[in-house]
Structures are given as structure tokens and as C-alpha cells.
Amino acid sequence: MIIRGGTFGPVATNTYVVAERQGGEALIVDPAMGSARWVEETLARFELTPLAVYATHGHWDHVVENHVWADRGVPVWAGAGDLDWLRAPAPFNPALFGNPPPTPGVEPARLLNEGDVLELGDLRLVLIETPGHSPGCLVAHEADRGEALVGDLVFAQGVGRTDFPRSDPQAMLSSLKRTFAELPGATRIYPGHGPWGVSLAEAETFARMFM
Ligand SMILES: [Zn+2]
């Protein structure tokens, strides 16, 4: 399994390219502001064909370059709970995002829900709905390879904020508990911000300080 990450934009958002193997199909995960060239280079280096853009959730910094890929015919897949933010990306926090020019929205080609499976060659990324940071937050878990794209649910040393519009601290607590209960501690996590590749068990020791 190939997972390559880069960090871009005003709030250091992680963009990932995920594929089963060189020469196969790839998911572009959360194309952040200024990530397009790096994504192109990564696709080219591994001879990958983009299958879809996968949005871990609908926050502006994670969906801001969806339109770049949609304009090239790459479909966008996103959780049903953040649909309106996909259609009209909302930089709702000027303290974080500044006041960027309007971001074109994209109509998702596929709305994702609990239990859906993203198939990428032999990879099967099973989706878990993890609302709290935003209503449409998803975790994508590849159980055989022991990898999980966790968005802004949990970071290497912290958890996602719950003071944004439509955040829900109680739902966040349930989502964190559920994730730590259901995914093996050895699972390597790929969050929306900060370092990636640490184990879920390592991240859990920090996350528990916020639970
Ligand atoms: Zn977020």
C-alpha cells in the first residue's frame, strides 16, 4: 500500500495520495490549498491514475482544491453530513483561514455513509462515521494493511477542535471512544494535521487528555 503525504495551506493541512501499488488507481485525500502540483508529481512518480478525491470532512481547508480535480474529470466523494460545505466551501473562521477569495464548490459524485467501502485495487477502506469535529467526519480503515485515514478526529498528539459551527463535543467523545474500541492499537493513522504514521495506541494516550 502506498500512502504519501504533504502539508499545505494556511493551517498546515495534510493532503494524501493513497494507492494499492505503483501503476494502479489512487485516491487524492483532502487536496489542501496549494497541493495540486505536489499531487500531480506524486501521481506521476508512482504512475497512478486518480480514481477520486476523497474528503475526510467538509471543512474549507480540506476541500478548497476539490474543484481543481473535478474540473479535470476526477469525481469527488464525501460524507453525507457535510454536503453543503462541499457544494459551497465555507471559510467560516477568519482567524484561521483569513478571507480567501470565494472557493468554487463541487457536487459530490458519491455520498459516503457508515459501512461504505472504498475499493482501490485489492485495498478495502471501510468507512466509519465519526461526527463531532464536523457532522460529516469519516474514518477510512484498511484493516488488512493496518492503516487508517482519520481526518481531524484524532492527531498524533491531540484531537480535533469542537468549537466550530456545527461541532458537537458529545458526539466527538462518542466517536473517539468508538474508534479506540474498534480499531486495533497498532493501526497507523494519517490525520488531517500534524505528523502521520504513528500508531493509534500512541495517539490515544494523548487524546485521553482531552476526553
Ligand atoms: Zn476540520
Say what the pLDDT of residue 93 is.
78
| Residue pair 125/110 in contact by the 8 Å Cβ criterion | no
Above 90 in pLDDT, residue 97? no
How do residues 49-87 score in pLDDT, each as one tens digit?
999 999 999 999 999 999 999 999 999 999 999 999 999
Instruction: State the distance from the centre of ligand 1 to the C-alpha of 94, rounded, in angstroms.
Output: 14
Cα–Cα dist 187/204, whole Å: 11
CB atoms within 10 A of CB 71: 10
Q: Which residues of 32-47 are buried (b: 16+ CB within 10 A; e: fewer)?
A: bbbbbebbeebbeebe
Cα–Cα dist 70/146, whole Å: 30
Instruction: State the distance from the centre of ligand 1 to the C-alpha of 160, rounded, in angstroms.
Output: 7
Above 90 in pLDDT, residue 100? no
Instruction: State the distance from the centre of ligand 1 to the C-alpha of 56, rounded, in angstroms.
Output: 9
Q: What is the mean pLDDT of residues 145-160?
A: 98
Does the pTM surpass 0.75? The reply is yes
How do residues 102-124 score in pLDDT, each as one tens digit?
899 999 999 999 999 999 999 99
% of the chain exceeding 90 in pLDDT: 93
Instruction: State the distance from the centre of ligand 1 to the C-alpha of 164, rounded, in angstroms.
Output: 9
Say what the pLDDT of residue 4 is.
98
Instruction: State the distance from the centre of ligand 1 to the C-alpha of 152, rounded, in angstroms.
Output: 5
Cα–Cα dist 139/142, whole Å: 10
Instruction: State the distance from the centre of ligand 1 to the C-alpha of 23, rounded, in angstroms.
Output: 31
Domains, the chain, in order of start with CATH, read: 2-210 (3.60.15.10)
Above 90 in pLDDT, residue 195? yes
Instruction: State the distance from the centre of ligand 1 to the C-alpha of 59, rounded, in angstroms.
Output: 5
Q: What is the mean pLDDT of residues 146-164?
A: 97
User: In one letter, which amino acid is 25?
Assistant: E
